[in-house]
Amino acid sequence: MARAMFEYTKTILKKVSFDVDLFYKELNKAVDRLLPYEIDELRIWLQKFTSNKPELYSCLTIIN
C-alpha cells in the first residue's frame, strides 16, 4: 500500500502544479504521510518535474 500512496502523491502533485499554494500544501501532506525512502524518491522526482516550472522551485525547500 505504501507504494500506492507514493504514486497517488505524484498524481496529485501533477494535477495541482498549476497553483503554487496548492502544490505547497499537497507537498506538505505528502512529506507527513510518506515513508523516509519514499520522500527520497519524491525528492528526485520533484527535481525532474520542476525543472521546467521555476515557479515551483520555492516549494522544494519543504523536501530538502
User: Would you say 63 and 39 are in contact if contact means Cβ atoms under 8 Å apart?
Assistant: yes
**Total tally of structural domains belonging to the chain:** 1
One DSSP character per residue, 42-63 reads HHHHHHHHGGG-GGGGGGGGGT
Distance CA 22, CA 28 (A): 10
Q: What is the mean pLDDT of the chain?
A: 93
First and final CA of the chain: distance in angstroms? 25
| Residue range of the domain that includes 14 | 2-62
pLDDT tens by residue, 26-55:
999 999 999 999 999 999 999 999 999 999
| pLDDT, position 25 | 96
Q: What is the pTM of this model?
A: 0.90
**Phi, psi (5° rounding) for residue 35?**
-75, 160
